[in-house]
Amino acid sequence: MSQNTPIRTRIAPSPTGQMHIGTLRTLLYNYAFAKKHHGQFIIRIEDTDQKRLVPGTQQKILDVIKRYGISWDEGPDIGGPYGPYVQTERLAIYQKYIKRLLDRGQAYYCFCSPARLEKMRLTQTKNKQVPRYDRHCLSLSPAKIAKNLKQNKPYVIRLRVPQDQKIICQDFIRGKIVVDSRQIDDQVLLKSNGIPTYHFAVVIDDHLMKISHVLRGDEWLASLPKQVILYQYLKWKPPIFVHLPVILNPNGRGKMSKRFGSVSAQSFLDRGYLPSAVNNFLMLLGWNPGTDQELFTLKDFIDSFNLQKLHKTQPVFDIKKLDYLNGLHIRRLTVSRLSKILAPFLPAIKEPVLEKLTPLLKERIEKLSEAHCFTDFIYQKIDYPVDLLLQRGADKKLALDMLTQARDALAGSPNWHFQLIQQILLDLIAKNEWNTGRFFMVFRVAICASPCTLPVVDVLPIIGQKKTIDKLNFALAKLS
Ligand code: GLU
């Protein structure tokens, strides 16, 4: 890489739906690479496939990128020196280059009707041939073309793929890829509605926007030869292509898909993952630092990222690892910050109570959405079978005795501070020679309606004396 070439990378989402989690990974790598080299990171909206557009998704994509803490140097909302950054706003630009290709005979008009193309495809498939355009319109005379145009016949513009040539593509990860031009279809460059196809627009835009490196998912590798032909025809130097191995489903089979839950970047936030943790997880999903460091902030990632350490193999989306990293990131937050982030996940809990619960939750949850399982008992009367109270071999008689004495002792407590509550319970255990573990398990279920909870004595000052006694009475009613 020349020292003088500014590093400019881009992400080019299509507004056809929510942003896929895999696109977020691609974005992070592009972003980190540009930032590491003090270059620019650009967002371009590729909206040429008008049939698949979903209104409103462009804004949603920009919003979710922001939520993940990433900013861009040029893009549809902020503009920049090479705008506009939405492809359908660049139609006049594409016309100029289409004309250039037509003039040089590197592209041609095709007036074939959809019906003819369909018939052609069917025949080819029947004859076990790979469907491709049969070049019916390649040799139309200029006079015939002029006549058709005059009659307003609908047309597309196709790429004239060179005959019998080896198309040499370079990919940073895979090296040199040689493709026989006979395998390449005469791709449509401009559709009949005047809108370019992806293949054409991407080349024009990457060049005009001075993109130096294209990091993208390797599902785009198959398009590379067509794009390389266009770079050759237009006499432009292609960017450095880096096709990232596609992310596999958690079971290791198939491209990451909805089969294992929603795959949109937004849905991970909705499910209680922190942006910093998802980012951290994605950073390591196809790249490694060469050390055993596993915790990365965006800044760490920018500092460490390099193309050499990108993986060649397809990474598996390991949800357990994501949960684990999320837990690590949660424990790095301050209590007041975590408390604020938890609030939308615990709407029933008032702020002062939440502040007190947060230090207890912080050590226990891996996802923000798990917090409610630990806290539902505070505001809800959760019913449970009486047998749940019979923990660690306690029978009904013993449980009844334990909880009756605990209720009476706690009801008589002159204050409701942790120290005193704990002392009262420990004294009771000692006096009765109860097994401490068994007592607390029975007591825990009585208070929290579940054997796995926050530390039960810590919870009592938070829920208050009255609620504690009520919960013990509820349990006692079951036992008697
Ligand atoms: N518009 C393509 C997408 O939706 C981007 C392909 C590319 O990066 O070249 O992912």
Range of the domain at 425: 381-479
Q: Residue 331 domain-assigned?
A: no
Assign 275 to helix, strand or coil.
Answer: helix
Please determine, for residue 420, whether its predicted confidence score (pLDDT) is greater than 60. yes
Catalytic site includes residue 258: yes
Give yes or no: residues 48 and 69 share one domain.
Answer: yes
Q: Residue 273 domain-assigned?
A: no
Give yes or no: residues 44 and 130 share one domain.
Answer: no
Give yes or no: residues 122 and 68 share one domain.
Answer: no
Q: Can you give the pLDDT at residue 379? A: 86
Q: For 28-81, how does the pLDDT look when each residue is reduced to its tens digit (9 = 90+)? A: 999 999 999 999 999 999 999 999 999 999 999 999 999 999 999 999 999 999
Q: For 330-376, how does the pLDDT look when each residue is reduced to its tens digit (9 = 90+)? A: 999 999 999 999 999 999 999 999 999 999 999 999 999 999 999 99
Q: Can you give the pLDDT at residue 5? A: 84
* Buried residues in 145-164 as b, exposed as e (16+ CB within 10 A): beebeeeeeebbbbbbbeee
Give the active site residue among 66, 258, 299, 309: 258
Among 244, 261, 277, the domain-final residue is 244
Binding site membership of 46 for ligand 1 (Cβ less than 6 Å): yes
Give yes or no: residues 70 and 143 share one domain.
Answer: no
Tokens in use for 44? 């371009």
Please determine, for residue 381, whether its predicted confidence score (pLDDT) is greater than 90. no
Q: Can you give the pLDDT at residue 339? A: 97
Q: Residue 285 domain-assigned?
A: no
Give yes or no: residues 72 and 207 share one domain.
Answer: yes
Residue 452 confidence class, pLDDT cut points 50, 70, 90 = confident
Helix 396-411 vs helix 436-448: crossing angle, to nearest 10:
70
- The total number of structural domains in the chain stands at 3
Residue 259 confidence class, pLDDT cut points 50, 70, 90 = confident
Query: Around Cβ 221, how many Cβ atoms within 10 Å?
Result: 18
Where on the phi/psi map is residue 226: left (φ > 0), alpha (ψ -120 to 50), or beta? alpha
Q: Residue 473 domain-assigned?
A: yes
Among 128, 155, 190, the domain-final residue is 190
Q: Can you give the pLDDT at residue 1? A: 47
Q: For 92-106, how does the pLDDT look when each residue is reduced to its tens digit (9 = 90+)? A: 999 999 999 999 999
Q: Residue 391 domain-assigned?
A: yes
For a ligand 1 pocket test, name from 31, 46, 205 the mutation site with the most ligand atoms within 8 angstroms of its C-beta. 46
Give yes or no: residues 102 and 64 share one domain.
Answer: no
Check which CATH number belongs to the domain holding 407 and give it.
1.10.10.350
Tokens in use for 158? 């196709």
Assign 169 to helix, strand or coil.
Answer: strand
Q: Can you say how many angstroms the Cα of residue 99 is from the centroid of all Cα atoms in its chain?
A: 39
Q: Residue 85 domain-assigned?
A: no
Please report the atom of ligand 1 found closest to the CA of residue 206. 9
Check which CATH number belongs to the domain holding 224 and give it.
3.40.50.620
Give yes or no: residues 112 and 186 share one domain.
Answer: yes
Give yes or no: residues 60 and 134 share one domain.
Answer: no
Check which CATH number belongs to the domain holding 124 and give it.
3.90.800.10
Q: Using CA positions, which residue lies closest to atom 6 of ligand 1?
A: 12
Distance, in Å, from the CA atom of 108 to the CA atom of 223, rounded to the nearest integer, reads: 20
* Buried residues in 15-43 as b, exposed as e (16+ CB within 10 A): beebbbbbbbbbbbbbbbbbbebebbbbb
Give yes or no: residues 184 and 221 share one domain.
Answer: no
Give yes or no: residues 54 and 128 share one domain.
Answer: no
Q: Residue 272 domain-assigned?
A: no
Using the mean position of ligand 1's atoms as its centre, give its distance from the Cα of residue 14 in Å.
7
Q: Can you give the pLDDT at residue 451? A: 79
Q: Residue 35 domain-assigned?
A: yes
Q: Can you give the pLDDT at residue 118? A: 96
Q: Can you give the pLDDT at residue 38? A: 97
* Buried residues in 264-302 as b, exposed as e (16+ CB within 10 A): bbbebbeebbbbbbbbbbbbbbbbebeeeeeebebeebb
Give yes or no: residues 416 and 469 share one domain.
Answer: yes
Mean pLDDT across the chain, nearest whole number?
Answer: 96
Assign 334 to helix, strand or coil.
Answer: coil
Give yes or no: residues 68 and 152 share one domain.
Answer: no
Parallel/antiparallel/unpaired status of strands 40-43 and 8-11: parallel
